[in-house]
Amino acid sequence: MSIDLIVFGPHPDDIEIGMAGTVAHHVDEGYGVGLCDLTEGEMGSNGTVADRREEAMEAARLLGVAWRENLGWADGEIAPSAELVRSAASFLRRHRPRAIAIPYWDDRHPDHRGASETLTQAAFKAALRRYEAAGDPWRVESVSYYFINHSVLPSFVIDVTAQYPKKQAALDCFRSQFAPTGPSAVQTPLSAPTFRRLIESRDAQFGAEIGVLYAEGFVVRNLPQRKTLF
């Protein structure tokens, strides 16, 4: 079954950090949106796989997406291998999205960088008639890159002011990462209060650039086209 937009995240919570507002915006506009986590985040310092799976599905329900799947790749091992590229290409051929959003390629986390390159190759190869992967060839119309940690001047931004309370609520779903409790909990960059402020300040900065409260930024590699200067 085809869908309008698929958003990929290396770990449960990456999608919410980078573009939960844009996900909710597309749902509000009537588009079919699917989410795909590449790993179960099993290498995370806090929370169990079961915790993160439950949190991810809670966030998905809050955002109103059509579905959320997990490819079960090994956390900490994402790289553009033939096996992982084929896995992602088969996934694209199965769901046939018009557009995809994937992590920006310059990021401090190796999995984020590896996911960006792996998914970029998968989107290209999924369209090749002679590429051996499950399903019929499928060409994605648009590939956009979103920011998780590092950000640069975006190619465009999307006003998510109306959806920002949903983004904040979706982030709140990931209690094991942002507010861990219990004797085994440890402090990480994600659990520091400054991390949430960093996300919100980035979205506020992008928003200020276009005169709104909050916006999320994206990079595209293809030159955007406009019909006129208006």
Q: For position 50, what pLDDT does the model report? A: 97
Contact 59, 16 (CB under 8 A): yes
Query: In the chain, which residues have pLDDT < 70?
Result: 1
**Structural domain spans, the chain:** 3-219
Max intra-chain CA distance, the chain: 60
Summarised one tens digit per residue, pLDDT across range 164-206 is 999 999 999 999 999 999 899 999 999 998 999 999 999 999 9
pTM of the model: 0.96
Q: For position 42, what pLDDT does the model report? A: 97
DSSP 129-148: TT--SSSS----SEEEEE-S
User: What are the Cα distances from residue 81, in Å, to 1, 19, 73, 191?
Assistant: 27, 26, 12, 32
Q: For position 1, what pLDDT does the model report? A: 65
Q: For position 140, what pLDDT does the model report? A: 97
Q: For position 229, what pLDDT does the model report? A: 77
Q: For position 213, what pLDDT does the model report? A: 98
Q: For position 224, what pLDDT does the model report? A: 84
The correct answer on CATH 3.50.30.40 for the domain covering 3-219 is no
Q: For position 15, what pLDDT does the model report? A: 98
